[in-house]
A and B are shown apart, each in its own frame.
Chain A
Amino acid sequence: MTKSFYFDSASCSGCKACQVACKDKHDLEVGRLWRRVYEICGGGWMPKRQAWENDVFAYHLSISCNHCARPVCVEACPTGAMKKRADGIVSIDEGDCVGCGYCAMACPYDAPQMNASTGTMTKCDFCSDEVAQAKPPACVAACPMRALESGGMEELEASHGATPAIFPLPDKKLTEPSLVITPHADAHRATDQNADVANREEV
């Protein structure tokens, strides 16, 4: 079973409890985020007959490492520190990391994050210790909206359907992320209505 995440963008309120729970569990300092909540905003005042109508929309995407089936970080890593385990979890052996940052350059999800004090790359390990005790990862357990789930890719896709293209996520074909998303009702408007990530300074 490939360890995968499910995220329900339609239900997410953007409270960032997942992000905080992850930071708390893994004791991440300010600036290092293994899970990030992106706020995507678009729309504005649109002319409608004699008036102007406000059609602003916003949705959230909670993204961590997606433990891709074709992990570009593992291919890129020159030392072999980045590995894909048999259970699908992409993990890093910090003892072998040279701190070149090439995995971060290659990953389109910003998953590998440098620990400035050790000079090594770190990333989401799917809370392997919790998973070993048949518990959910910290982010999944913390979500008050039950917008996050973890499980096998096939089972998540079977219950939630395949993930369509969602702005601003990269094409799934590039790395085949182990991530299933139910898009927000307004997500399809993003590319036509100049949507952008509104909280760049946070993520």
Chain B
Amino acid sequence: MDGEWALVLFTVLSQMAVGTFLLLSVFLLLADREIDSTGRRVLLATGIVLTAALLSSIFHLKSPLNAYKMLNSLETSWLSREILALLLFVGAGVFFALIEFLKIGSLRTRALVASTAALMGVGLIFSMAKVYMLRTVPAWDSWLTVATFFSTALLLGSVTLGVAYRKDAPLLKRLAVIAIVIVVARILLAAATSSAAGWEVPEGLKQRVEPERWLIVFQGALLLLGGACLGAVRFKKRAPALLVQGAFLSLTVSELLGRFLFYACQ
């Protein structure tokens, strides 16, 4: 498990960034709404989160000076494809942020650029999931990996955007619905298959560390707590802002722990 924390941070944070960017594009630009000062702050925050993700991915490499060679095997390696998708997302995202901050082009043009960047983000998450869907690692080689990565993006994207737009009640309630649906789906999945996150450690030649039981329980408890906060945000007439921040914090920690467990069941 040594060194996997860098990958936990990289995957969760980049998925958070993609999810936030995607939802920002959908709820503002595609709804013919200008990005306000809050939206610009979200864009900046997304950039910071993405930078943190990039740094942790570089720290994970033992010979980072060779990193420029990572696009050499696009024909066979999903890791090469993931890096390409990452570069495309970062490039398109930065380009969008530039024209957005400088207000270049019409709202429609900027919406088009944002959609393109969001599409690159979708490609990034898909290739990220394919990286782990190795035929030699049965615990990862299933649609659950794709579903988990995309749901992490939407879950953390909606709570991040929720924290930013906590005073915009209609938007906040719509974001809460997305997050609640994902939390419920996660709970049902965990109930249906005791190894939903794959913590049935398979036998094989490789040394495997059975994850600590309390970690699994703690992760589940944080998911429930986040879900409860979101429920209150959605259904209470005037939900205190603290609930949105509580949901953000507990779900982010829950996703980080969940990803740690994902790597543990390799």
- Tell me the bound Cα distance from A99 to B63 in angstroms: 5
Q: Which of B194-224 contact A (CB under 8 A)?
A: 203-207
Cβ B73 vs Cβ A77 within 8 A: yes
By the criterion of a CB under 8 Å from any partner CB, how many residues of chain B are at the interface? 30
State how many angstroms separate the Cβ of B25 from the closest Cβ of chain A.
29
Cβ B204 vs Cβ A101 within 8 A: no
- Tell me the bound Cα distance from A106 to B8 in angstroms: 17
Question: Residue A75 at the B interface, CB < 8 A?
Answer: yes
User: Which of chain B's residues have a CB closer than 8 A to the CB of A72?
Assistant: 134-136
Residue of A nearest to B131 (CB): A102
Question: Which of B3, B83, B136 has a CB less than 8 Å from the CB of A106?
Answer: B136
Question: Which of B136, B137, B205 has a CB less than 8 Å from the CB of A175?
Answer: B136
Cβ A78 vs Cβ B80 within 8 A: yes
User: Which of chain B's residues have a CB closer than 8 A to the CB of A105?
Assistant: 134, 137, 266
User: Which of chain B's residues have a CB closer than 8 A to the CB of A154?
Assistant: none
Question: Residue B238 at the A interface, CB < 8 A?
Answer: no
Cβ A168 vs Cβ B205 within 8 A: yes
Cβ A79 vs Cβ B136 within 8 A: no
User: Which of chain B's residues have a CB closer than 8 A to the CB of A101?
Assistant: 3, 60, 62
User: Which of chain B's residues have a CB closer than 8 A to the CB of A79?
Assistant: 66, 69-70, 72-73
User: Which of chain B's residues have a CB closer than 8 A to the CB of A28?
Assistant: none
- Tell me the bound Cα distance from A81 to B73 in angstroms: 10
Question: Residue B190 at the A interface, CB < 8 A?
Answer: no
Chain B interface main SS type: loop
Q: Which of B42-85 contact A (CB under 8 A)?
A: 60-64, 66-67, 69-73, 76-80, 83
Q: Which of A98-121 contact B (CB under 8 A)?
A: 98-102, 105-110, 114, 116, 118-120
User: Which of chain B's residues have a CB closer than 8 A to the CB of A167?
Assistant: 203
Cβ B205 vs Cβ A98 within 8 A: no
- Tell me the bound Cα distance from A110 to B70 in angstroms: 22
- Tell me the bound Cα distance from A74 to B136 in angstroms: 13
Cβ B62 vs Cβ A78 within 8 A: no
Cβ B66 vs Cβ A97 within 8 A: yes
- Tell me the bound Cα distance from A165 to B81 in angstroms: 34
Map CB proximity to A onto B131-146 as digits: 1 under 8 Å, 0 otherwise: 1001111000000000
Q: Which of B89-105 contact A (CB under 8 A)?
A: none
Question: Which of A119, A120, A174, A200 has a CB less than 8 Å from the CB of B135?
Answer: A174
| Given A105-B134, A119-B62: A168 touches B80 (CB 8 Å cut-off) | no
State how many angstroms separate the Cβ of B95 from the closest Cβ of chain A.
25
- Tell me the bound Cα distance from A80 to B72 in angstroms: 6
- Tell me the bound Cα distance from A99 to B3 in angstroms: 12
Cβ B77 vs Cβ A170 within 8 A: no
User: Which of chain A's residues have a CB closer than 8 A to the CB of B134?
Assistant: 72, 76, 105-106
Cβ B204 vs Cβ A170 within 8 A: yes
Cβ B62 vs Cβ A114 within 8 A: yes
Cβ B205 vs Cβ A97 within 8 A: no
Cβ B83 vs Cβ A200 within 8 A: no
Cβ A108 vs Cβ B62 within 8 A: no
- Tell me the bound Cα distance from A165 to B207 in angstroms: 20
Q: Which of A27-85 contact B (CB under 8 A)?
A: 38, 63, 72, 74-81
Residue of A nearest to B82 (CB): A78
State how many angstroms separate the Cβ of B10 from the closest Cβ of chain A.
11
Question: Residue A169 at the B interface, CB < 8 A?
Answer: yes
Cβ A170 vs Cβ B79 within 8 A: no
State how many angstroms separate the Cβ of A203 from the closest Cβ of chain B.
7
User: Which of chain A's residues have a CB closer than 8 A to the CB of B72?
Assistant: 78-80, 96
Question: Which of A78, A98, A107, A196 has a CB less than 8 Å from the CB of B136?
Answer: A107
Question: Residue A10 at the B interface, CB < 8 A?
Answer: no
| Given A63-B205, A174-B136: A80 touches B62 (CB 8 Å cut-off) | no
Question: Which of A75, A81, A100 has a CB less than 8 Å from the CB of B61?
Answer: A100
Question: Which of A63, A97, A102, A196 has a CB less than 8 Å from the CB of B203?
Answer: A196
Residue of A nearest to B81 (CB): A78
- Tell me the bound Cα distance from A140 to B154 in angstroms: 54
Question: Residue A197 at the B interface, CB < 8 A?
Answer: yes
State how many angstroms separate the Cβ of A102 from the closest Cβ of chain B.
5
> Could you write out 19 A-B pairs with CB less than 8 Å apart?
A76-B76, A76-B77, A76-B78, A77-B73, A78-B70, A79-B66, A79-B69, A80-B72, A98-B62, A98-B64, A99-B63, A100-B70, A101-B3, A102-B79, A105-B137, A106-B136, A108-B206, A109-B205, A110-B207
